[in-house]
Structure 1
Amino acid sequence: MNDSIPVIRDVDQGTARLLPDVDRERAWLLTVDGAPQSYVDLDAPDHLEFEYARRLAHVIDCAASPGAPLDVLHLGGGALTLPRYVAAVRPGSRQDVVEADLGLLELVAEQLPVPDGSGITVHGADARSRLEQTAPGSLDILIADVFSGSRVPAHLTTVEYAKAARRSLRDEGIYAANLADGAPFGFLRSQLATFAAVFEELALIAEPAVLRGRRFGNLVLVASPSPIDTATLTRRCAADAFPARVEHGAALDRLTGAAGPVRDGAAVASPEPPDGAFSIG
């Protein structure tokens, strides 16, 4: 049992809370202003509690043969859930994490430090600025999980941003982003159109109820210059404890509809979630 005391601190983007999980000895939930941000089990970094994190991990798992190290850039840090996962299942990976909230970085470094030799390097910076400084063709995986409050910032939703992501990836590299939207999916459709204007291949992972418009929720957008192994990804997502669908090809074209790409100057942040969509007590 985890009998640790909660840690509460004001950070740059609100009030952060590290809440111990009473069922796991060294596991913690990070929230900011009541919205869940990360879940970390220090004894089992390959344990992923959040559904969207599991789906991002499925993308990572399909990116290369099991255990093979990867070069990864994570935009958005939180409590470093996915970087810890990659370090555990793919030792020797080189990972950079970019997080703009310096107060949050300090809190996580103090309370949930990563082990020495993890291969994880954390940078306090704006996600797009750091991405644009990344060497071309240097990444196997680019993970975007950036939220300001509960919204994806506008400057991370555009063709110009997508082009910077494409430049950073190797020819078989993969971009995966955690998004949030609900019916009628105006934001999601615009993102599909935006990334289709830059990347040759797209896929989308989401819970069926979200795709049917029954509730607001997380969706994982996957993009690559090369074919995505959607068959393997579909099997992994369907077999998960929290099953999800993988859409691609004609199904994504229908979902995109008449939406057009978004460019700098016309971009807006993702929609504000309905009350209670993600918040906890």
Structure 2
Amino acid sequence: MADYRLDVDLDFSYTDESGSVTRGSARSSGTDVTVSMDSLAPLGGGGIPSLDEIRPLAEMLAGKGLSVTLSGPDGSIVSLGAVNSPASQRLVTRSPHIKLGKLGALVPIVRQGRRKSAAVPLLPPSTPLPLLPTVRRKISRRITTTHYTRGSGRPRLIFVQDAATWTGQIPREVTLAGEKTTIGSDPGCDIILEGLEGVHAEIRHDELDEYVLVPHGTVSGSVAQAGPSVLRTGARIQMGQWCLAFFREEFADHGRPYGGRSGGELAYERPQFDPRTGTMERDSSRGVT
């Protein structure tokens, strides 16, 4: 038994900008509401919302045991709520609570919508031809990578904290703004960390727009323990009790996977040309060549 009952006896009219008048009515004496209009002109210009917007309303009406039917001069256009929707229509609407009306009633709306709006209400986009996928294997595509303004992507170091030491506060960040950032216990370092050597390591911004870690003391993590390392997003640098992670927004990171992949999948990654510097970017996140 339905939880709600509606008694509706309403007549209305709508006048558009050109002065054309559309008349309609809303009738109900129970759980089914019928809205009738003598013209579909107000609906052709996008008056009917999209299916994504209709589904929540239809589900809400069904939950209350109610249904609303919109009718035009040629018959029912759509019914929402507690309706018996055919399985074939559910493939289109993706909802058991939306029942499309007669095709003859829908066609005028589609025709008007094409003239006034690029969006066709209530109908999914047409299937592109051909219906079967076309496979073209001999296609030559230019290999690309990600190049952006020098120093962009907010390169930064984030202090990594584990569950035992995290206090619930946002981790400390240090932006790598200069051409060289020194890390150590010396008061003159850009990042001063207790327990490290005076100048334990430095991060250089080189001519290829890469950020390179140059260790002077002991380092570990996902970087080379000896010699310089090109830093990629997610790289971890362990120095004594301190663990820092390097991050740079992917639109400005010249490495892979943003411009390809970094190893894996048994695939050879071809070097990629950087048009800004005239050099080849190779598939390597460690070492400087």
TM-score normalised by L of structure 1: 0.21
Q: More helix by proportion, 1 or 2? A: 1
Q: Which has the larger radius of gyration?
A: 2
Query: Which structure exhibits the higher relative contact order, with contacts defined as CA atoms closer than 8 Å and separated by 6 or more residues?
Result: 1
TM-score for both structures, normalised by structure 2: 0.21
